[in-house]
């Protein structure tokens, strides 16, 4: 039973108003067989097929009435015959009018009336997900905000579907990561399950796909906002896009009877779950780097304020401005302890990343990234590895990490990363390449602390040319 509408369905809405029983178009068996139907719909088609078969064998006449001549001279007269299925439609013959009325009523409660292809949300969403809905009304519900549902007296919104989709997406991405990044080794009984990444890295990698920012960005890229039914007082938002993406996955799970393979195929098409290069996705960003530094120094991460910039009078669809407010250590450079930068970019993540990069560059350029003034370090190439380790043990810096790669020509390339500063070196031996990388990091750390001498920089660059 439909609630009484508080107001007429919005004009030119991309979604037609939900039908009630008795509304909609007429369907015949041939058209219905081209649709994906539920069990009740398939049962109705089976009834028609059964009676058609009876006509073909001669038990029924062309008008579906009983053929009185069938069975003459056999033990069971034709007059005593009753159908094996569809008894409710048998009244001295198959009542095809009643059957067609039931079929049309049932299909119209499952399917949304077709629209021109360029405007049809059902066609578009089937194309992008690769999933054909049985009950297409679940699609409209997946894009219905609670404010819209209350305003137009609908029985529900997308919130419950969103709840399901959120959990399902986390599971699907976790399962895909396990398939691509782990293995079970029978030869390692103490720990058969082995993953390429540790727990923290796996969590960060999963967030690259299922975070609110990632989901809303994908939904915006796919043009989902034009399908969302907002309340008249609501503004278009990234949160609504995120919710719609999750609700769409939830709707697929409900419609498919919890077919995980169907949901995974749809999620892969929507989010591209192939993880070809996890290192790139996990690469430390300026946002991570600067937040960690600020947290360690001042006990809190910087304040990021993100706002959408109006374009041609419209709030939704424009670039973002990110305002970052952060602190710097007490200094003799005349810099205020409180700093602020404003940057613009086309997405939230890019605006936030650029704001953090600007802040990081500012702090490093002013020699305030770290305090090494009392460390008494004079970088020496031969001792550079031990000098870095000593600074770490004295808690001046984070633990240095080294990565090696053998290059063409039989040489070794070493990358060193420490406290947000990187260095590199190439040499005929791994040890010398490591020393070069450690020396470069030492010099850059001292430079970031504002106590680097010009001759140390000259030596660093000269070694890189060897």
Cα angle value 453/456/460 (rounded, 5°): 145
Measuring CA to CA, which residue among 1, 34, 7 is closest to residue 111? 34
| CA separation for the pair 144, 244 (Å, rounded) | 8
- Is residue 166 annotated as a catalytic residue, yes or no? yes
Q: Please report where in the chains the tokens 């305030």 appear, as a residue.
A: 368
Judged by DSSP in three states, 461 sits in: helix
Q: Please report where in the chains the tokens 């030596």 appear, as a residue.
A: 459
Q: Where are the beta strands (DSSP E) in 227-336?
A: 303-308, 320-327
Among 100, 136, 166, 354, which one carries the catalytic annotation? 166
| CA separation for the pair 183, 273 (Å, rounded) | 18
Q: Which backbone phi and psi does 37 adopt, to 5 degrees?
A: -115, 165
Measuring CA to CA, which residue among 413, 396, 395 is closest to residue 404? 413
| CA separation for the pair 338, 329 (Å, rounded) | 9
Measuring CA to CA, which residue among 251, 230, 238, 224 is closest to residue 169? 251
- Is residue 102 annotated as a catalytic residue, yes or no? no
**What's 76-99 look like in SS3?**
CCHHHCCCCCCHHHECCEECHHHH
Among 162, 176, 246, 264, which one carries the catalytic annotation? 246
Residues annotated as catalytic (active site), given as ranges: 166, 246
């Amino acid at each position: 039973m439909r609630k009484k509408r508080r107001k007429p369905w919005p004009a030119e809405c991309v979604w037609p108003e939900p039908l009630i029983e008795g509304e909609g178009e007429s369907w015949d068996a041939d058209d219905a067989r081209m649709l994906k139907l539920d069990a009740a719909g398939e049962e109705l088609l089976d009834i028609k097929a059964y009676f058609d078969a009876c006509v073909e064998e001669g038990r029924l006449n062309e008008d579906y009435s009983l053929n009185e001549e069938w069975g003459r001279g056999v033990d069971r007269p034709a007059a005593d015959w009753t159908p094996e299925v569809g008894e409710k439609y048998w009244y001295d013959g198959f009542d095809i009018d009643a059957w067609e009325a039931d079929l049309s009523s049932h299909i119209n409660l499952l399917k949304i009336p077709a629209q021109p292809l360029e405007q049809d949300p059902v066609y578009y969403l089937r194309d992008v997900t690769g999933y054909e809905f049985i009950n297409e009304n679940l699609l409209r519900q997946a894009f219905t905000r609670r404010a819209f549902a209350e305003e137009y007296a609908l029985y529900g919104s997308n919130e419950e579907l969103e709840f399901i989709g959120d959990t399902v997406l986390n599971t699907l991405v976790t399962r895909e990561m396990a398939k691509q990044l782990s293995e079970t080794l029978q030869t390692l009984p103490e720990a058969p399950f082995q993953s390429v990444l540790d727990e923290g890295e796996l969590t960060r990698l999963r967030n690259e796909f299922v975070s609110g920012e990632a989901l809303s960005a994908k939904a915006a890229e796919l043009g989902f906002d034009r399908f969302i039914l907002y309340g008249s007082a609501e503004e278009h938002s990234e949160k609504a896009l995120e919710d719609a993406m999750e609700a769409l996955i939830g709707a697929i799970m409900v419609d498919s009877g919890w077919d995980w393979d169907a949901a995974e195929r749809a999620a892969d098409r929507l989010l591209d779950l192939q993880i070809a290069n996890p290192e790139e996705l996990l690469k430390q960003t300026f946002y991570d780097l600067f937040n960690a530094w600020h947290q360690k120094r001042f006990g809190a991460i910087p304040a990021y304020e993100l706002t959408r910039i109006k374009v041609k009078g419209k709030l939704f669809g424009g670039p973002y401005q990110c305002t970052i407010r952060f602190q710097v250590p007490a200094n003799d450079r005349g810099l205020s302890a409180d700093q602020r930068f404003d940057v613009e970019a086309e997405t939230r993540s890019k605006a936030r990343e650029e704001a953090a990069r600007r802040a990081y560059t500012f702090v490093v350029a002013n020699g305030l990234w770290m305090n090494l003034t009392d460390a008494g370090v004079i970088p020496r190439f031969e001792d550079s590895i031990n000098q870095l380790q000593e600074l770490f043990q004295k808690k001046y810096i984070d633990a240095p990490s080294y990565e090696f790669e053998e290059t063409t020509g039989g040489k070794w390339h070493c990358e060193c990363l420490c406290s947000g500063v990187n260095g590199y070196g190439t040499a005929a031996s791994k040890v010398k390449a490591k020393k070069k990388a450690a020396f470069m990091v030492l010099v850059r750390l001292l430079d970031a602390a504002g106590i680097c001498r010009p001759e140390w920089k000259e030596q660093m660059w000269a070694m890189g040319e060897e």
